């Protein structure tokens, strides 16, 4: 991957929960074909690490990452499986140290101004805002843009096609995370064509112009 921010790869990062690792490769291929190369596979199922490994090995155009990372052990296991970025729902100093040492980009989760300031103090300028809708949504992020313009976010949680454009219109939002392009019935039916079509619609969402790339948040 070219040296650019994870937040700038695509307007939407699909948040994937897989119970069967055999679905990982065709799903990733559908998402990439639809224009969504950054794929977050959450560590919520026993199949997650195998899914990450399969995508990393078989879908070179995908930028596969691990989500719901909450322990240093998960950081290590995810990177060993081939994860090219890490996403956490929240952070501690111990988890942050492990993510920094991993050698891959990461998005620690925040939901309060104090957490944002604490990460900025530690040199982190790109973050996950979670749970986005429950934590204040676009109004909250808009309020942060004035006093903390150096912070950039990937909001996740309660975001769908109806409100994603509102988030992407904000200057401090680089992309959003969501699952709407992965409806349960399409996954159950392995309807990869439908998922590709929904991914293409999501990839067509526009973002606010003139976004400055943050230092220390590049994808390798």
Q: Report, as residue numbers or ranges, the catalytic residues.
A: 40, 128
- Would you give the DSSP letter of residue 209? S
Q: Whole-angstrom Cα distance, residue 158 to residue 170?
A: 17
CB 178 within 8 Å of CB 15? yes
Q: Whole-angstrom Cα distance, residue 134 to residue 20?
A: 30
Interhelix angle for 72-81 vs 48-58, to 10°?
30
16: β partners: 41
Residue owning tokens 């309060």 = 112
Alpha helix (H) residue ranges in 104-171: 113-121, 137-145, 164-168
């Amino acid at each position: 991957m070219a040296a650019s921010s994870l937040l700038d790869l695509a307007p939407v990062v699909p948040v994937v929960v897989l119970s069967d690792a055999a679905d990982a490769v065709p799903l990733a291929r559908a998402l990439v074909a639809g224009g969504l190369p950054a794929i977050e596979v959450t560590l919520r199922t026993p199949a997650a690490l195998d899914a990450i490994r399969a995508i990393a090995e078989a879908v070179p155009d995908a930028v596969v990452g691990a989500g719901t990372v909450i322990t240093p052990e998960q950081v290590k296991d995810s990177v060993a499986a081939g994860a090219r970025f890490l996403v956490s729902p929240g952070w501690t100093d111990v988890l942050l140290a492990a993510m920094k040492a991993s050698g891959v980009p990461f998005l620690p989760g925040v939901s309060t101004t104090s957490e944002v300031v604490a990460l900025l103090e530690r040199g982190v300028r790109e973050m996950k805002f979670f749970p986005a809708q429950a934590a204040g949504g676009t109004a909250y992020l808009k309020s942060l843009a004035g006093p903390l313009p150096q912070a950039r976010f990937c909001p996740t949680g309660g975001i769908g096609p109806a409100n994603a454009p509102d988030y992407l219109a904000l200057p401090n939002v680089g992309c959003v995370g969501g699952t709407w392009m992965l409806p349960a019935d399409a996954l159950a039916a392995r309807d990869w064509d439908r998922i590709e079509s929904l991914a293409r619609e999501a990839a067509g969402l526009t973002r606010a112009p003139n976004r400055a790339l943050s230092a220390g948040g590049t994808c390798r």
